[in-house]
Every structure is written in C-alpha cells, then in structure tokens.
Amino acid sequence: MQCQFEIPYAKSVCGIFLLYRYAYLCILIKISVFMQLSEQEIVRRESLNKLRELGIDPYPANEYKVTAKISDILNNFPAYEGKEVQLAGRMMSRRIMGKASFAELKDATGRMQIYVNRDELCPGEDKTMYNTVFKKLLDIGDIIGVKGEVFKTKVGEPSINVKELTVLSKSLRPLPVVKVDADGKVHDAFSDPELRYRQRYVDLIVNDKVKDTFIKRTKIINTMRNFFNERGYLEVETPVLQPIPGGASARPFITHHNALDIPLYLRIANELYLKRLIVGGFDGVYEFAKDFRNEGMDKTHNPEFTVMELYVPYKDYNWMMDTTETLLEKIAKEVTGDTKVKMGDKIIDFKAPYPRVPILDAIKEHTGYDLHGKSEEEIREIAKKLGIEVDDTMGKGKLIDEIFGEKCEHHYVQPTFITDYPKEMSPLTKAHRSKPGLTERFELMVNGKELANAYSELNDPIDQRERFEEQLRLSQKGDDEAMYIDQDFLRALEYGMPPTSGIGIGIDRLTMFLTDNDSIQEVIFFPQMKPEKKAVALTDDEKNVLKLLKEQSPVLLSDLKSKSGLSNKKWDKTIKGLTKKKQAKVENTGEGLFVSLVD
C-alpha cells in the first residue's frame, strides 16, 4: 500500500501540517490492514517488498514464453530428455538442502519436480537468486517460470535442472497444505464443502480431481455439440430476459427493465423460442442454455443450471428415444472410455437400448394403485393413503407427479424411459395417437433421477390455447408453478409448426452421473451460496484450534489443549482469543470443562 500525492503548498506551515497528518493516516491504515492479516500473510507481504528492493518485479507484465507442458514431458520423456525447456507454474512444495534444493511445479496439465542447484542457477559470484530469492523470499503457491534441462534423478524421477528462474506472481495468501503419506493416505485435506465451493480457485489448485470433473464436463458438451452438428442441426441463442417465463412449470426470478419500464423474467426454459425457430423453417435447432428457477436448493438442484434443448421437425418421441440413447452411449464412451460408469456403489450402463415404461404402469407396479381413468379427487385420496402430503392447489397432473416422485422414481437406477404422461401433466405435449387422455412424452430416469424430458411437440394452436387456459385456472387456484399464457407463441403456432420432437437434457446432472458426484455443487464452478459471514481475523494458533473444533465439538478442554500441542501460555492466549471473537465457547457441564463451536 502506497500513499503518494503532490501537495503544491507543502512548504507552507499549513501544508506541512496536512502532509504529516496524511502520512499519519496512511500509517494508521497500514496498521489496520496488518492487524487483519495472519502471521504468514504479513511475512509474505514483507517478502514482496524485499523482492522489489532487489529490483525484482513480483508481477511482471511481459510475456513469458512456455516451450513445453508438464504432461507432454512426462508422457513422452525420451523425446525431451537432455533438451532445454521453459516451463511456468505454481510452486506446490519445496525441500531446501543447502546448496541444492528440490521443488514441485504444477501447471495446468500436471506436476513435476524441479532441481535447483545454487551454482547452476547463479554461476557468478552473486548468489542472491538462490540464497535470498529462492530460499527465503519465495513461498508455496508462488507462480514462477523455470528454464533448464530435462533429466532423471538417480532414483528415476523426471526433473528439470533449473538454470534460470523468474518470479511471475507472488502469492500473498498461504495455500492449504495437503499431505499424502507413503501409504497414499491424505492428511489435512482441503475438504470442507462450503470453503471449497466459495473458494473454488483454491479447490482447483490443491484438489486435482476437481479439475478433472470440469474437463469431463466440457467433453460432455463438446461430444453433444459434435453429435448434433454432424446431423446438420444449428446451434442458436435465445433470450435470457423474457417478458413471459414460458416453456416449463416453475417459479421464476423477476427483474425490471428501467428503460422500457416493464417487468422481465429470467428464463425458466428456452423451449418456446426454439419452437418459434422451427416455425421459421430451420431443420433442427439446439441450444446450451442457462436457465433459472426461484425454487429450493439441495444436492441435486441449483437455482441457476445448464440445459441443452433440441428440436427437430418431422420427428416424434419414439425417434427421440432412439436418438437419446444413441447420444448418451456415445457420450459415456467419449468421456469415460466405457458405457458402464460408477455412481457411488452402483454401476450404471448407458449402452442402448433402454427400457420404456408408461408412467401409470410404473405407479401401478410400485404402489398397487391403478390410476387409469381416475378423477382428480380419487387420485387425491390415493395420494393421502400413500402418505403423500397434498393440498387443494394441486391438480391431477401435480398429484400424479408427486406419487411417481415419492413412490416410484428411486426404483429406476438403470437408464429407463418413463413414457405416456397424462395430459394434465404435459401442457406442451401432443395428445397420444392411440391412448386417450395421455400424451406422447417421456422422461429419462437414471439412478432414480430425471435426466431428460421430451415430447412429440403440440403443434395444434387451438389445443395449445386450451392447455394454457387450464394452466391459468391452476394458477388462480394457487399453483405458483403453473405455466403462463404466451400469446406470441400461440400466434407463431397459428402460422403452422411442422410435427416436431423436442428434448431437454440437464447438463449438470449428466456431469454428476459421469463423474461419480452426488452433489450438483461439485459440477458447477461457482454454485449459489448463502451470503458469506464476515471474516474474523485469527492467528495461526487460533485457526489450528478452530480446525480441531470443527472435527469434534463439543470436546473436553483438556483433550483439545493436548491435541493442539500449545504451551500453557499460548493455549491461554488462543482460547481467550477464540471466545472473545465468538468462535468458541467454554462451558462447565458438571462433567468437566467443554469447548464447543459457536453457531
């Protein structure tokens, strides 16, 4: 932090007084900042200043030319052995051994050992770069560039013999130090979910598996995109801000457009706009879209999520089932190398074909109740008998959906098409060609969860208007997830839309399945979180004791003190600090003094 500015009247008494006052304020600001920093953070800032005093820019602007990637060297070592390369990456560990040291460098592709010899790095009399910069002023987490020769150590470890070292970015915060012992056991893992999701950048640095998840996510999207492009379908973009939140049954986010003075909604689906493009004459369109639904958050739902929607004219839902199972089999092979993937303790096989089960048959099989031809009130009574919570706002479709979700969904672990939904559940779907009261719709269930939803699309504008009006009646009954009437979409249908099949596939959920993650937060870079509590400045000792408390709380004060390894004086200071900062509390329960976290 620097406080520099010119005061033209500084030579006057008043000017000198103001100058000293300004300098004093700068000192107070610096003191205030430093009081909020940990001991390690203060040391790193001091190292930063010392680098600058040595004439080294810790954040240089010029290009640093990288001639090789770590993975290329490790995977094709004979081609690189004995050759000079220039690498850049983050220093993840360091072992200083007098005149020679080892460190681990990590780039975007992997990790590799570097060997730093004082006399090779500093061949002249000036040994500052090794003795001062490398040994004392660099820290774990700093980003450096190295130039040197590729070789193998006596124990066969591929390494770089460093001849030149460049500081590229000084890290001012210490990384979590994750250790792996000789047996492969991980210690001090950066594993707290809330911290990992809030500080995804740290998560990506220290947990290599996390980066692999997101690389696979990109492969899923690219494989899907190539599949559609090879078939001549056009990737398009449709509005995120919409005057009517149509295309799905969900509660929307609402905003306001100041210039137009109208309310707008973050889209809950892009379906109706893509169908407008089919009306316009495109021979198949698809979009990877960010959708938003102002509903609950849990391990499988995030308010902002990614979906792929595809619409192809002159096709029906039978064709779409064939296409979907072919697509997913291809994606599984491309991403994992096999059609069989591990999900927890289960093995899911994406090899086509998949079973096709009508939804009412599924309900009859798993509940014993046949809902064919049943009225809304009869279904409501059946739901109550099954122990499902219902209310008067729920129409026939919502009741059936609840019964299937509560009593049937979890049975479908292997990919299964659940088909032929009642008309009341499917306001945008064409009536079934041979089963009155039902529609040509399917949902693909995998591991007990919906992965895809598809229809033979309703293209009868009169029928569509009646379906929308029924949704309006549900809304008036209190169903806040009922669809809105989109008059412009109805106008588009009146110009004529060819018979069409459409599908939506959840990208987040598909990524969960193919990366063996049971939480949607694991496959979204920056998932939605509750507001972060204001950080409390803690000493390193306080942080260590707090970490122990997170592992076990409450805990006997004597046991916690023993685990901390602190002297009596340091322990007293640390526990008083934590209680004063309202991070921990000490209570006498009658069985002894216990320390617990403050909620």
What CATH number has the domain bearing residue 93?
2.40.50.140
Q: Could you read off the pLDDT of 181-220 as tens digits, one per residue?
A: 667 676 668 888 989 999 999 999 999 999 999 999 999 9
Q: Is residue 43 part of a domain?
A: no
Segment holding 226, helix H or strand E: helix 208-230
Let me know whether 444 and 559 are in one domain.
no
The larger pLDDT score, comparing residue 10 to residue 366, is at 366
Let me know whether 337 and 427 are in one domain.
yes
Angle at 24 between CA 21 and CA 26, to 5 degrees: 115
Let me know whether 436 and 508 are in one domain.
yes
Among 491, 522, 553, where does a domain finish? Answer: 522
Let me know whether 326 and 268 are in one domain.
yes
Let me know whether 232 and 341 are in one domain.
yes
Q: Is residue 48 part of a domain?
A: no
Handedness of CA 217, 417, 421, 449 (dihedral sign): negative
What's the pLDDT score for residue 17? 60
Among 490, 522, 554, where does a domain finish? Answer: 522
Q: Is residue 127 part of a domain?
A: yes
Let me know whether 514 and 419 are in one domain.
yes
Instruction: Name residue, tokens 């994750």.
Output: 178
Let me know whether 234 and 348 are in one domain.
yes
Q: Is residue 23 part of a domain?
A: yes
Q: Is residue 422 part of a domain?
A: yes
Let me know whether 87 and 31 are in one domain.
no
Let me know whether 252 and 347 are in one domain.
yes
Instruction: Inform me whether the pLDDT recorded for 11 exceeds 70.
Output: no
Among 118, 149, 175, where does a domain finish? Answer: 175
Instruction: Name residue, tokens 């617990």.
Output: 596
Q: Could you read off the pLDDT of 120-179 as tens digits, one per residue?
A: 999 999 999 999 999 999 999 999 999 999 999 999 999 999 999 999 999 999 999 777
Let me know whether 242 and 343 are in one domain.
yes
Sorted by sequence, the CB contacts under 8 Å of residue 337 that are 6+ apart come out as none
Q: Could you read off the pLDDT of 459-468 as tens digits, one per residue?
A: 999 999 998 8
Let me know whether 229 and 317 are in one domain.
yes
Angle at 546 between CA 543 and CA 549, to 5 degrees: 155
CATH classification at residue 552: 1.10.10.10
Let me know whether 346 and 243 are in one domain.
yes
Q: Could you read off the pLDDT of 436-448 as tens digits, one per residue?
A: 989 999 999 999 9
Q: Is residue 587 part of a domain?
A: yes
The pTM for the full model equals 0.82
Q: Is residue 533 part of a domain?
A: no
Q: State mean pLDDT over 9-38.
A: 60
DSSP assigned state of 57: -
**Residue 17 sits in which domain range?**
1-35
Domain count, the chain: 4
Tell me the pLDDT of the chain averaged across its residues.
Answer: 91
CATH classification at residue 238: 3.30.930.10
What's the pLDDT score for residue 599? 73
Q: Is residue 385 part of a domain?
A: no
- Give the strand order in the sheet containing 555-556: 555-556, 593-597, 584-588
